[in-house]
């Protein structure tokens, strides 16, 4: 079954902010300027940080590093630790890894398209009702859920300079993709006991196979050789 996921209120807010910023900052400037390559926008290396990821229920705290191959193509990767800040199941933690291939539009190097693959591994502990069908016994017991996801997506991004002289930019990205759960396992149940239902409701803790919407606003520092 196809499930549309990943658009929590916090994610929707970031997604809308990124889209609004793109429209406000990009349309007036592109209507007035000539489409010539601004080589000062692209440098060989870039570092990124996603501060708005801290606002999501499953906060993503991490940094990214990119290598720009030429004026059109670049590689970028980000590693994030996932930790719930507002919804707090016991021992909730995980990691997210993103790898992107970026294409910078000819003559407009602050606009790019990206194809990404991502991996997410997550675990959380919670208390559920268990049942032993042989003895017809019920127990309330603590389990640890382990989930692993793989996903692919296409994205559209736009950069706005904060201080071009030192290569500092704000990056707005929106997109859509598909993710698939490749591992879903629970540990901690006594022998012969099984969950009676998927009775946990912790917002973005439980994720499913389906469509996801990678929207983000990042700080980017570009440095090294100008292209």
Q: Which residue has the tokens 């950069």?
A: 159
**Eight-class DSSP state of 16:** H
Share in percent of the chain as helix, strand, coil (round to 5): 15, 60, 25
CB 179 within 8 A of CB 210: yes
pLDDT > 70 fraction of the chain, expressed in percent and rounded: 70
Cα 187 to chain centroid, rounded? 27
CB 115 within 8 A of CB 154: yes
66-79: per-residue pLDDT in tens? Answer: 999 998 999 999 99
156-185: per-residue pLDDT in tens? Answer: 998 888 888 889 999 989 899 999 988 888
Residue 156: what pLDDT?
94
Cα–Cα distance, 115 to 177 (Å, whole number): 10
**Confidence label for 23 from pLDDT (cuts 50, 70 and 90):** low
118-163: per-residue pLDDT in tens? Answer: 999 988 777 778 888 888 888 887 888 888 999 999 999 988 888 8
């Amino acid at each position: 079954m196809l499930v549309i996921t990943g658009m929590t209120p916090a994610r929707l807010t970031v997604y809308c902010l990124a889209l609004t910023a793109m429209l406000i900052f990009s349309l007036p400037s592109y209507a007035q300027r000539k489409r010539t390559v601004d080589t000062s926008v692209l440098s060989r290396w870039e570092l990124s940080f996603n501060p708005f990821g801290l606002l999501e229920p499953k906060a993503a705290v991490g940094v990214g590093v990119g290598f720009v191959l030429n004026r059109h193509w670049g590689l970028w990767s980000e590693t994030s630790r996932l930790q719930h800040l507002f919804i707090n199941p016991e021992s909730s933690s995980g990691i997210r890894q993103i790898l992107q291939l970026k294409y910078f539009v000819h003559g407009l190097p602050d606009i790019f398209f990206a194809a990404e693959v991502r991996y997410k591994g997550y675990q959380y502990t919670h208390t559920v009702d268990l049942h032993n069908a042989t003895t017809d016994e019920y127990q309330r017991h603590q389990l640890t859920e382990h989930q692993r996801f793989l996903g692919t997506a296409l994205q559209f991004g736009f950069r706005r300079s904060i201080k071009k002289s030192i290569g500092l930019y704000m990056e707005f990205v929106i997109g859509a993709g598909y993710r698939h759960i490749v591992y879903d396992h629970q540990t901690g149940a006594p022998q012969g006991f099984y969950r009676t239902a998927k009775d946990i409701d912790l917002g973005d803790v439980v994720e499913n196979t389906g469509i996801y919407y990678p929207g983000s606003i990042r700080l980017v520092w570009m440095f090294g050789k100008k292209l």
